[in-house]
Chain A
């Protein structure tokens, strides 16, 4: 065997142990579209005031090789050649993007903490976890088994997770949350439209609904707890065929034979629908003075 081959042969086993130091930078436009693919481990995504894309951090060699580049309007960051036989959790990366950028994150396993974004964030993973703080314009998150936590006045939010818990604090505008077994816990919200849907999870809502707005909460086997402003006016349709309906508000009328109660509080205006097949529905008044208005209502506690 030739010396060059011998040297190559000696070199290849080593990368399994090596740690890669990453420091990559490029200029992008302030509203660039940035795709982040197949990153692993812990990733911190930061929106900043500069028109540049930066990736810094450390990766174990088995995390694969970083690719980085594109044009000023559309850049890509990601990994290829990741060892699919192992779950890489020791990677730590920080990705800085212009705060108005449109960011799309795709991958199998990534724990993403995002802050300072004011553009759009799109996140799809198999088992990833997402934590967002700040004021992104829109957040779309799909994760099969990860938790999602968003804190801030996000104007439009779409979250879908199967087993993960969803915790939202201080969200605004338009909201859609769907889980299979994960709880949906929301605090300090002020929305024009919200659709909260789970199969076996619980739903806890604390927040206001704009006049003319709608809140639709549905679970098959979980409980629904709605903490509403005492002065809220809303038309209610509450269905709990197998469970009780309790309220701190004065509710006129009685449930029908099928377990549905249609009534109003205040002078109406908003529309609230709550349905649970096996659970119970609780309507509670938010305290006049709430020490922590953004804290979600407490059924299952906070996210894992």
Chain B
């Protein structure tokens, strides 16, 4: 072999000659194989395809929402004077809901899911509080800006979760 010291190869040759070409499995694998024969071949690719499709959908969704948020995000300094855009708020909320549903079917670790849930509670509480305040003072651009910011944080947080390593 290229650059190979002959003594290494020669040395190993005797060991290779002693190497058993066949090793019996520690247990009989046939029952497990038999149980998998027909359904396994069809089911496995489908599961893989579903997972692949879900992953692609989540990435695509995340990209779409990123574009949406980037296009719609307010210039921070102008929030207090921005008009109340209820349709925009509703679209942002819907984008967050879709992201959350997408994450729900992904393979995040249980511990990660717990952290995710804990933080979503914080964000959702803020959204609910802002929403109640805006309902009481519907013309307030400050409250509308704070509500929009909370929705945007929800979306951005879910995007961060979508980028996390999967289990």
A residues sitting closer than 8 Å to B (CB atoms) are 1-2, 4-5, 9, 38, 84, 106-108, 124-127, 142, 144-145, 160, 162-163, 178, 180-181, 195, 197, 199-200, 214, 216, 218, 220-221, 237, 239, 241, 258-260, 262, 271, 273, 275, 277-278
Chain B residues, CB < 8 A from A145: 115
> Interface 1/0s, chain B 106-138, versus A by CB < 8 A?
000101100110110011001001100100010
Q: Judging by beta carbons under 8 Å apart, are B150 and A199 in contact?
A: yes
Distance between Cα atoms of A275 and B153 in the complex (Å): 15
| Also in contact, A144 and B79, with CB within 8 A (given A2-B23, A277-B146) | no
Q: Residue B119 contacts which of A108, A163, A214, A239 (CB distance < 8 angstroms)?
A: A163
Q: Residue B137 contacts which of A125, A162, A199, A258 (CB distance < 8 angstroms)?
A: A258
| A-B contact list, 27 entries, CB within 8 Å | A1-B26, A2-B24, A5-B23, A38-B165, A124-B164, A126-B111, A126-B115, A127-B115, A144-B119, A144-B160, A144-B161, A162-B115, A162-B157, A178-B156, A197-B153, A199-B123, A199-B150, A200-B126, A214-B77, A218-B149, A241-B133, A258-B141, A258-B142, A275-B145, A275-B149, A277-B130, A277-B146
Chain A residues, CB < 8 A from B160: 142, 144, 160, 162
Distance between Cα atoms of A160 and B119 in the complex (Å): 13
Nearest B-chain residue to A271, judged by Cβ: B77
Q: Judging by beta carbons under 8 Å apart, are A9 and B26 in contact?
A: yes
Q: Judging by beta carbons under 8 Å apart, are A260 and B80 in contact?
A: yes
Distance in Å: Cβ of B86 to nearest Cβ of chain A: 17
| Also in contact, A108 and B165, with CB within 8 A (given A178-B153, A239-B142, A277-B130) | yes
Chain B residues, CB < 8 A from A278: 129
Distance between Cα atoms of A108 and B164 in the complex (Å): 8
Q: Judging by beta carbons under 8 Å apart, are A277 and B133 in contact?
A: yes
Main secondary structure, interface of B, reads: helix
Category for how many chain B residues contact A: 35 or more
Interface status of B163 (Cβ within 8 A of chain A) = yes
Chain B residues, CB < 8 A from A38: 165
Q: Judging by beta carbons under 8 Å apart, are B126 and A144 in contact?
A: no
Distance between Cα atoms of A82 and B63 in the complex (Å): 31
Interface status of B143 (Cβ within 8 A of chain A) = yes
| Also in contact, A4 and B23, with CB within 8 A (given A142-B163, A220-B150, A277-B146) | yes
Distance in Å: Cβ of A74 to nearest Cβ of chain B: 20
Nearest B-chain residue to A160, judged by Cβ: B160
Q: Judging by beta carbons under 8 Å apart, are B109 and A126 in contact?
A: yes
Q: Judging by beta carbons under 8 Å apart, are A216 and B77 in contact?
A: yes
Q: Judging by beta carbons under 8 Å apart, are B122 and A180 in contact?
A: yes
Interface status of B31 (Cβ within 8 A of chain A) = no
> Interface 1/0s, chain B 1-38, versus A by CB < 8 A?
00000000000000000011001101000000000000
Distance between Cα atoms of A262 and B126 in the complex (Å): 25
Nearest B-chain residue to A214, judged by Cβ: B77
Q: Residue A180 contacts which of B79, B123, B164 (CB distance < 8 angstroms)?
A: B123
Interface status of B66 (Cβ within 8 A of chain A) = no
Q: Residue B20 contacts which of A2, A106, A271, A275 (CB distance < 8 angstroms)?
A: A2
Distance in Å: Cβ of A183 to nearest Cβ of chain B: 13
Q: Which 10 A-B pairs have the closest CB atoms?
A: A216-B76, A220-B126, A162-B119, A180-B119, A258-B142, A260-B80, A258-B140, A239-B142, A199-B126, A145-B115
Chain A residues, CB < 8 A from B24: 1-2, 5
